[in-house]
Amino acid sequence: MKVLGIGNAIVDVICKVEESFITNNNLTKGTMKLVDETEFKKLLSNLKIEETIAGGSVANSIVGLSQLGNPVSFIGKVNNDELGDKYEKSLTNQKVKYCYQKKKEFIPTGTCLILITPDSERTMCTFLGIAGKISEKDINEKAVKNSELIFLEGYLWDEGDPKTAFNKAINIAKKAAMTLSDKFCVDRHKKSFLHLVNNKLDITFANEQEILSLIDAKSFDEVISFSKKIKKLVVITRGEKGSIAIQKNEVVECDSQKNLKIIDLTGAGDLFAAGFLHGYVNKLSIKESLGKGSEMASKIIQKIGARLN
């Protein structure tokens, strides 16, 4: 396998809402909020569902990699329930090898309510369900060892069992990449994430806000200095300013694609990572990999959801 993704196995429920829905429910636009099952059902009760699909940040990236013709696999924890079955089928239909054995659990499969406002911004309310309970026992050692690279998500990181799962996977992997996922995520786990970026990961993906927050930087120059110093590959998306990769002393930039009809920003970062990793595992240059990431991201933001087909 080229890439094994390890992430939250979450069923995405996509709905269009007005700005007032975000305000009235005390949500912060453009971020992800963790909710319990009761709050999730309450929010959903007033909405019309546009689409239901197997999601989760890294799972979206892995499907993107599969669509680009790469042999890929995924580990994510679901319940042996209706949503869990849907989740697995949604991945296998996309030629992703699912390396997790479902069991009957007391906690249901995780779900994420993706609220799309008229400005195309997406706000997420996630009921993690069983997805967040991943432990080292759920990590298929053979799948990790048989992959050129593992790709992890910051959303999955938490003290306790998820941490042991991360450590086990990273320690036996040939190479490890991770996305920082979300600024709230970074703020919550700053010390742990900084340790991972400095000492454990070969590749770190972040957007500008996440990386600035991680190192408490005042300017982007500080981010470049930090990235050069750690001598790893740091890949950063900067919205309209394009993207940048820093590896040792090399700094490579790529412009964002212009004049796009933006409909929904869900999955932009996930598909960018898919494009970049496609380039990386197929030995393209850093510049070409950034270009592929940009191309994938620009395709996905011109449609609803985080799937290209």
Question: What separation in angstroms does the CA of 68 have from each of 9, 95, 164, 276, 283?
Answer: 21, 11, 31, 11, 14
Picking from 215, 201, 302, the residue whose alpha carbon sits closest to that of residue 258 is 302
Q: Which two tokens stand for residue 239?
A: 């919205």
Q: Is a pLDDT exceeding 70 seen at residue 220?
A: yes
At residue 279, the pLDDT reads 98
Round the average pLDDT of the chain to a whole number and report it.
92
Q: What are phi and psi of 223, to 5 degrees?
A: -65, -45
Confidence of residue 305 (pLDDT cuts 50, 70, 90): low
Report pTM. 0.88
Q: What is the pLDDT of residues 39-94, one digit of tens each?
A: 998 998 889 888 888 888 999 999 999 999 999 999 999 999 888 998 999 999 99
Q: Are β-strands 233-237 and 203-207 bridged in parallel, bridged antiparallel, or unpaired?
A: parallel
147 or 263, higher pLDDT: 147
Give yes or no for a contact between 176 and 201, defined as CB atoms under 8 angstroms apart: yes
At residue 266, the pLDDT reads 66
What's the whole-number mean pLDDT along residues 266-290?
94
* Structural domains for the chain: 3-7+57-101+129-300 (3.40.1190.20)
Residue linked to tokens 């924890």:
77
Neighbouring C-beta atoms of residue 306, cutoff 10 Å:
28
At residue 25, the pLDDT reads 95
